[in-house]
Structure 1
Amino acid sequence: MKATAKAHPIQGIVKYHGMFDHELRLPYHDSISVCTAPSHSKTTVEFDSALDADRYVVDGEVLEGHGADRIRGVVDRVRELAGIDERVRFESVNDFPTNIGFGSSASGFAAAAVALCAAADLDLSHPEMSTIARRGSASAARAVTGAFSHLRTGKDDIDCRSERIETDLEDDLRVVAAEVPAYKETEEAHKEAADSHMFQARMAHIHEQIATARHALREGDFETTFETAEHDSLSLAATTMTGPSGWVYWQPESLKVFETVRTLREEEDVPVYFSTDTGASVYVNTTDQFVDRVEAAIADLGIDTHVWGVGGPAQVLDESEALF
């Protein structure tokens, strides 16, 4: 009962913020994202009756406390569905920077859910597995279905699951990831989301944002899709900054990237838009034709960059790729 899977991290297009049920991780509203590749998380799991306790290792670190509890929520759901009670050995690695706003929790929990389902011989669709990954991170649900995906809100697993949005933008999108290494704390921001006086204002327009993004994606409309992502990033930041803790994730380097993007767009007519999740790092969205120009402009700021395309759904890997 052993399996390995990989999943790609997500960039939020219309980000979710806050949950009305923290145990099941049911978000207040819908969200849309795109997976970025080749960046990925890889996870190997094995159910073993000889073990006397679960063991969770991520990037070489043995997890305890809250980190272990989040993984256990996903593991226990798989045990429940499969009707098994064996302990599990769990190891995961990421090939990109984590905890700086690049969606590592999404890819990590997505790879975990898919590997666990395979190891437990559960024959589930990607939308069904997305409900399992969601118990670790709501964003992970979208990393399971991959590419451009839409997670709907709801009060149960029938409604709150992810589905893929088919779009012609998958082939042409290029993401210049501007790496700003400032640690961020997403969990606490989600917990206090509804306490911000900007939260209801965000809720008032989020449904229109979702509809606009879905339509733009179906039409292959790059400008509207990523203009929506840029505006939603500002809305999200306004909400986090006006919560009780006053979270300010952006760093001076983040603002330099914003200004560079706007200069490229306004003075050189380059199709380029910035986007951030809860973190200081910045996604700079452009097309294949302009990616070299955009990357050079961001690199000129002295910021490390990665160039990513669109990643597909989480998948089970051959046993030769197992981590143990």
Structure 2
Amino acid sequence: MAAAPISPVTARAHSNIALIKYWGKRDAALNLPAVGSISITLDGLYTDTRVGFHAGAERDSVDIGGRKVDAAPFTKFLDLIRARAGIAHRARVESWNNFPTGAGLASSASGYSALALAGCRAAGLETSARDLSILARQGSGSAARSIFGGIVEMHRGQAEGGEDAYAEPLLNAEDWPLGVVVAITDRNAKSVNSTAGMAALDERSDYYDAWVARAPDDLASMRDAIAARDFETVGALTEMSCLKLHGLMLSTRPGLIYWNAATVASMHAIRALRAAGTPVYFTIDAGPQVKAICAPEHTAEVAAVLADVPGVLDTRISGLGPGAHPLD
């Protein structure tokens, strides 16, 4: 029996940053990752998305941050929800981020995660967290992880249809409190988005095969370090995966350079802090923003140091956050 649309629903999902990075797709059409990943969900960065399905509307309408945007990319995703619910109504989507959009802070992760939850609820669907993760992945690969809070692993999967490519939690946020300081070095959208940057990597980088082959070992090492609450090893693996990712990006033809001068200066500042005795490690996704991971009691010190780095525009302090949830 087809589900009946209900009143508009608002959901919140939080951004996540990968400790062991994901880059590359094994199936672009289904948005299946070439490698697995492990991430942490941030309580301080989130997206609120409101979705309503309306009889009689001729087309989908999407606003982000109060500005109307092209609905076409979102219509394809909303069609997945409509097909499950057995409805044809067009949607009204309104979304707000409390951080810069498209700037390397995983706004697509929190955005599509919130859209998946709000859309399913508004369409009258009851879905499991795993099903939501699979759905969110089809909008953005990293969105599969933002369905969950704390520390999360995304499975690459083996099935051609993607039914085993989903995320699941490793630890809840309260199981191992960690602090994150985000150094924002550019508020503008990045010039090359992640989807374009990942396209046809097997043809555009001589290092891609090695990246894919090494991923299972990196994931296993991180999994063991998290289980042991070994922060030093977690930090070392995080920096290694970050630098390896950007090495892959640099090797891509044409080379992808997401860093700016403040990005590099922040990395050096973090390593100097660590050499002076403060346990802190950096990671950087596809963008110029630097994320420093440390114990919660060190976040104020780390934020103060990063705020003094020339070119750092703002710092944000966060802990580990919850999974996606409705606000209504």
What letter corresponds to residue 236 of structure 2 in structure 1?
E
Deviations 1:138-173 (A, max 9, x none): 100000122211111123342011101126775531
Match of 1:141 in 2: 144
Deviations 1:32-82 (A, max 9, x none): 111111221000000111211111111122222xxx333223211111111
**Contact 2:150/2:172 (<8 A) preserved:** no
Picking from 96, 117, 135, the partner of 1:132 is 135
Match of 1:321 in 2: none
Picking from 164, 168, 186, the partner of 1:163 is 168
**Contact 1:167/1:219 (<8 A) preserved:** no
Match of 1:289 in 2: 297
TM-score by length of 1: 0.93
What letter corresponds to residue 248 of structure 1 in structure 2?
I
Picking from 144, 165, 183, the partner of 1:178 is 183
Deviation at 1:12, TM superposition (A): 0.9
Picking from 211, 214, 221, the partner of 2:220 is 211
Picking from 65, 79, 100, the partner of 1:59 is 65
**Contact 1:7/1:111 (<8 A) preserved:** yes
Deviation at 1:188, TM superposition (A): 1.0
Q: How does 1:230-245 map to 2 (within 5 A)?
A: 230-245=239-254
Picking from 115, 128, 133, the partner of 2:118 is 115
CA distance in 2, matches of 1:118, 1:290: 39
Alignment of 1:272 with 2:280, yes or no, is: yes
Match of 1:189 in 2: 197
TM-score by length of 2: 0.92
CA distance in 2, matches of 1:309, 1:168: 8
In the alignment, structure 1 segments of 5+ residues that lack a partner are 319-324
In the alignment, structure 2 segments of 5+ residues that lack a partner are 1-5
CA distance in 2, matches of 1:241, 1:211: 26
**Contact 2:44/2:317 (<8 A) preserved:** no
CA distance in 2, matches of 1:169, 1:258: 28
Match of 1:260 in 2: 269
Alignment of 1:24 with 2:15, yes or no, is: no
**Contact 2:32/2:162 (<8 A) preserved:** no
Match of 1:94 in 2: 97
Identical positions, percent: 32
Q: How does 1:4-43 map to 2 (within 5 A)?
A: 4-43=10-49
Picking from 68, 72, 75, the partner of 1:72 is 75
Deviates more, 1:274-283 or 1:295-304: 295-304
CA distance in 1, matches of 2:46, 2:14: 4
CA distance in 1, matches of 2:174, 2:231: 7
What letter corresponds to residue 112 of structure 1 in structure 2?
L
What letter corresponds to residue 233 of structure 1 in structure 2?
C
**Contact 2:151/2:173 (<8 A) preserved:** no
CA distance in 1, matches of 2:36, 2:86: 31
CA distance in 1, matches of 2:21, 2:201: 13
* Equivalent residues, number: 314
**Partner secondary structure for residue 290 of structure 1:** helix
